[in-house]
């Protein structure tokens, strides 16, 4: 089961899927999980990783809210969805920047996912 197929089956969507939005939703789900995992891994690292843990935790929550709200297709929420996608992209960029400061695999992977999610949110914004 894919999230795109689920959204496409919604009566208000009637098979006319906004592919860029579906991609942003899928990657926000992945990004939420990866940021959460990175925050946990950072807590096991030596040294002061508090800011990275904070950014990853905040980004995970923002991505979680974004994918949950963006999957709701009943009614109109475009004005707020635009703000949410923009904010999610901003959080992802900030998290990628923070994770980029650390020399470990989990932060590198998290930064990569965050950059991808930020790009997808921007693309979705352009296609609403």
**Which single residue is written with the structure tokens 């923002």?**
62
DSSP E strands in the chain: the ranges are none
- State how far the Cα of 15 lies from the Cα of 72, in Å rounded to an integer: 15
Q: How many CA atoms lie within 13 A of 95 on its CB side?
A: 38
Query: Which of the two residues, 74 and 56, has the higher pLDDT score?
Result: 56
Q: Which two tokens stand for residue 92?
A: 């992802």
pLDDT at 15 over 70: no
CB 24 within 8 A of CB 124: yes
When pLDDT is averaged across residues 18-37 and rounded to a whole number, the result is 95
pTM: 0.92
Q: Which two tokens stand for residue 119?
A: 């790009």
Average per-residue pLDDT for the chain: 92
């Amino acid at each position: 089961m894919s999230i795109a197929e689920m959204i496409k089956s919604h009566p208000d969507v009637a098979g006319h899927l906004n592919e860029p939005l579906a991609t942003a939703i899928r990657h926000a789900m992945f990004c939420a999980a990866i940021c959460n995992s990175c925050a946990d891994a950072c807590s096991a690292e030596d040294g002061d990783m508090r800011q990275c843990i904070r950014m990853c935790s905040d980004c995970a929550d923002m991505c979680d809210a974004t994918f949950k709200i963006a999957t709701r297709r009943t009614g109109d929420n475009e004005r707020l969805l635009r703000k949410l996608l923009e904010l999610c992209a901003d959080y992802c960029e900030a998290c990628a920047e923070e994770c980029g400061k650390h020399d470990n695999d989990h932060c590198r992977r998290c930064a990569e996912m965050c950059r991808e999610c930020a790009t997808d949110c921007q693309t979705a914004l352009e296609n609403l």
